[in-house]
Amino acid sequence: MSKATMAIAVLLMVLGATVFAMAGADDPELLIPAFFGVLLVLCEWMSLSRTRRVVWLPIAEIIGVVGTIFPLVRGLQAIVKAYTENDELAQPFAVMEELVMAGLCLIVTIVCVRRFHAASKAA
């Protein structure tokens, strides 16, 4: 089990809960990083067995890629929109959360790719 992936999963859960609480606990969409963190913990837990690792590590990789691309695009769209309209960000907590989530999920993706590469060299 990768300690880095587990640590990032916990950070994602803390990020989601913290931003949700700071924003007034009225928008459940702010809990999306926590959901991704729970999914990553589940994937890591399921991949403890060598036979199931072949299935669950690629799923963790997909979660990392999706968690990188979509929040990054949404966050950058909000920043560009605010910049072009000379306005403030409509939801600064959400934009900050999306960009931090994208960065953390990028690290998960890199860790998973390195694990695949190491496994292919060992085989």
Domain regions of the chain by residue span? 3-122
- 37/47 Cα distance (integer angstroms): 15
Say if CB 17 and CB 31 are below 8 A apart: yes
CB contact burial 38-59 (16+ within 10 A = b; e otherwise): ebbbebbeebeeeeebeebbeb
Q: What is the pLDDT of residue 77?
A: 92
Residues 13-36: tens digit of each pLDDT = 999 999 888 888 788 888 999 999
Half-sphere exposure of 23 (CA within 13 A, CB side): 21
Residues 80-100: tens digit of each pLDDT = 998 888 888 878 888 899 999
- 66/60 Cα distance (integer angstroms): 10
